[in-house]
Amino acid sequence: MKYRTIGTDPAHSREVSVLALGAMLFGSLTDEETSFAVLDRYVEAGGNFIDTSDNYAFWTDGSQGGHSEELLGRWRRSRGVGDEIVIATKLGARPLSPGTGFVDNAEGLSVEVIREAAEASRERLGVARLDLLYAHIDDLAVPQRETVEGFGALVTEGTVGLLGVSNQAMWRVERARTLAAEAGLPGYEVLQYQHSHLRPRFDMPSDLFPDGSLGHAGPELLGYLRAEPALTLVAYSPLLAGAYVRDDKRLPPDYDHPGTPARLAELRAVARETGATVNQVVLAWQIGGDLPIVPLAGASSVAQLEENLAAVDLELTAEQRGRLDAAH
């Protein structure tokens, strides 16, 4: 396994594996035995960066979520896992009541919710401190200063280590980080957005993002990373839920544009040259690039995890990487 540092304050920064494990469906669609087997193998291979959220996976049974955190708590206790494993979780998008979605009924990012939701996550996970806590989605109804102060207080008190943000416009992220700096408070240091080799369109509205997708890591976010090298991008859905390799999985509609075939063709060409799978080439391209990107990939079986783990040691040549970068 290889590692990189997240965070800038030595008191809170952590060395994490360059491949993060997504636990979104653990304890719901992925049963406990399989989840434990995947977690055990990931740790055995040197992995130490696991991702979850307080609302995973509410959509599977009409609940408010919490399945994934609860399973991770049981796994930690049964294996005697301590601080050597970095568990990241998120708050802000948990439905306020069972059987509802979060678009118009999310818990939000008020100071009261931040404190209560963080405490509930710590209880489910069975930890005294959350290693990394994200603002899962934006909350425009709450003053941003209140959110910044709410998160910062948890770090100051020692119940949270690092702060992150997901699915927010870059101007909002920068404003929050500026507010934190002006107040002498910890700010967001890890950005979690969707990122893969294929490039999506950014003008596709949805219920969550009516102005176009704020979940994708687009040119503005990547430029922000270049300007702020202390930040790290954790790239969710790097393998597009299997759409690169499975005939029964179609690419999402926002990837249906003229640039996709050329990038797919280059990916497949590099996969043939290296003897690797397309999925492994995507992960290796992210891991070995010039930007600080940690791919976050889930696995519903040990076999899937093994494929992903092999990408860590896949070294692309400068020529191959140049072709992958330039394809459009």
pLDDT, one tens digit per residue, over 83-135 is 999 999 999 999 999 988 777 789 999 999 999 999 999 999 999 999 999 99
pLDDT tens track for 60-76: 999 999 999 999 999 99
Instruction: Tell me the fold of 3-256+278-317.
Output: TIM Barrel (3.20.20)
Q: In angstroms, rounded to a whole number, what is the distance separating the alpha carbons of residues 35 and 38?
A: 5
Mean per-residue pLDDT, 162-171: 96
Of the pLDDT bands very low, low, confident and very high (cuts 50, 70, 90), residue 296 is very high
Q: Is the pLDDT of residue 214 over 80?
A: no
Strand partners for 15: 5
Rounded percentage of the chain residues whose pLDDT exceeds 70: 98
Whether the Cβ atoms of residue 256 and residue 263 lie closer than 8 Å to each other: no
Domains of the chain, by residue range, sit at 3-256+278-317
Q: In angstroms, rounded to a whole number, what is the distance separating the alpha carbons of residues 315 and 235?
A: 19
Mean per-residue pLDDT, 214-220: 89
Find the farthest-apart pair of alpha carbons in the chain and give their distance in angstroms, rounded.
Answer: 54
Q: Is the pLDDT of residue 6 over 70?
A: yes
What is the per-residue pLDDT for 208? 67
First to last CA, the chain: 32
